[in-house]
Amino acid sequence: MMQSFSTDAILLRRIEYGDYDLIVSYFTRSMGKLSVIAKNAKKSVRRFAGALDPFVSMNIECSWPKRKGGLPVLNCVDIQNPFARIRTNTAKTGYASYWLEIISSWMEEKKPDEALYELVFHVLESLNAGIIPMEVLSVLFQIRFMGISGFTPNLMGCGQCGLPIDDIRQNRITFDVVAGRLVCDRCSANILGNLEKRTYSFNENEEVSDLNEKVSDYSTVYSKLYSTSYLATSSTASLKSHSPALNLKNPLGRKIAVSKGTLKQLSWMSSTDIKLAERLKFSRTAVKEGENLLEGFIPCHIGRNMKSLKFLHRIRNPEILSLKL
């Protein structure tokens, strides 16, 4: 008899496989990222009704494959939370897609990380409930994701000379996205003295130019986010060994100014109890600075351009759309 297993799981993406089947990629509690095959899922809609949509959290039961190297076969699913209010809201979809793309890019197959699973579940639940602003949840998710994954940059002092932020003269301190560190004014002056001055430009229009859909054409973007490039991503198995900023079309080789207050809030948010952390009051500037820093640094560190981040930028900056269309 074939052996089976079950685990809690959040659906990351799915792709069509042949005429009848789907390959479904999950973030599972007990096995990390896991790809399984849902046989006849395309043909028999009823069998997995409502359970093959993105963000749905469920318990899955699968059989191990008969032959070595095959994918486990999805036998049945038990929906825990459909998170339906995420899927029916464009901005929430944008945020959840970005978080899950980070997970999908970062996690390796079958390497469990229960703390990360709990974090993802928590932010999806909170996003679905809609009490905490989604921008704050996104900052919370990103800062804690870095903490759990062990690559939080030092946000309390200059990464070059170690000067604590309280002793740095400027109120807004430069964060070097590519190097992943703060640089105080004295060190910046030294670096600029040594290196040829290079102009960093970040062109939002360029950043989003390869997504041609209107944001209002939600279903197109949606299917684009979930149905493509499975093979491309699954073949990059060891993303963690990539050098930061390599292979990126737009390497985001840029520096960001972040105020001391925001840096302190981010540090506090990364270490305190999660229920307290998400209730932290952020000013509009602090949220913007926090998002800029994290959305610049994380993709750079992982070594991936995130499609969902482009989508998110378009949602946040509708004026970019009107220029283009």
Using the contact rule CB under 5 A, the part of the chain among 156-164, 172-180, 212-220, 249-257 near Zn ion is: 156-164
Distance between CA 297 and CA 292 in Å, rounded?
8
Nearer to Zn ion, 154 or 259 (CB): 154
Q: How far is the CB of 124 from Zn ion (least distance, A)?
A: 39
| Binding residue for Zn ion, selected from 24, 137, 158, 300, defined by CB under 5 A | 158
Nearer to Zn ion, 132 or 257 (CB): 257
Residue 208's contacts (CB-CB under 8 Å, 6 or more residues apart) are 310, 313, 314, 320, 324
Q: How far is the CB of 159 from Zn ion (least distance, A)?
A: 8
Q: How many residues bind Zn ion (CB under 5 A)?
A: 6
Nearer to Zn ion, 10 or 182 (CB): 182
| Binding residue for Zn ion, selected from 45, 49, 129, 161, defined by CB under 5 A | 161
Is 7 in contact with 29 (CB distance < 8 Å)? yes
Q: How far is the CB of 194 from Zn ion (least distance, A)?
A: 14
HSE, CB side, 13 Å, CA atoms: give it for residue 27.
Answer: 25
Q: How far is the CB of 255 from Zn ion (least distance, A)?
A: 14
- 23 touches Zn ion by CB under 5 A: no
Site for Zn ion in 74-93 (CB under 5 A): none
Q: Which two tokens stand for residue 220?
A: 């197109």
Where residue 206 falls (left for φ over 0; alpha for ψ -120 to 50; beta otherwise) is alpha
Q: 289: part of which helix (H) or strand (E)? A: helix 284-302
Grouping H, G, I as helix, E, B as strand and the rest as coil, residue 325 is coil
According to the 3-state scheme, what is the secondary structure of 173-221?
A: EEEECCCCEEECHHHHHHHHHHCCCCCCCCCHHHHHCCCCCCCCCHHHH
Using the contact rule CB under 5 A, the part of the chain among 87-95, 181-189, 199-207, 294-302 near Zn ion is: 181-189
- 160 touches Zn ion by CB under 5 A: yes
Using the contact rule CB under 5 A, the part of the chain among 10-18, 100-108, 117-125, 186-194 near Zn ion is: 186-194
| Binding residue for Zn ion, selected from 187, 215, 294, 306, defined by CB under 5 A | 187
In the chain, DSSP finds a helix count (H) and a strand count (E) of 13, 8
Q: How far is the CB of 294 from Zn ion (least distance, A)?
A: 22
Is 303 in contact with 245 (CB distance < 8 Å)? yes
- 182 touches Zn ion by CB under 5 A: no
| Binding residue for Zn ion, selected from 184, 258, 269, 306, defined by CB under 5 A | 184
Distance between CA 148 and CA 137 in Å, rounded?
16
Q: How far is the CB of 152 from Zn ion (least distance, A)?
A: 19
Residues that bind Zn ion (CB under 5 A): 158, 160-161, 163, 184, 187
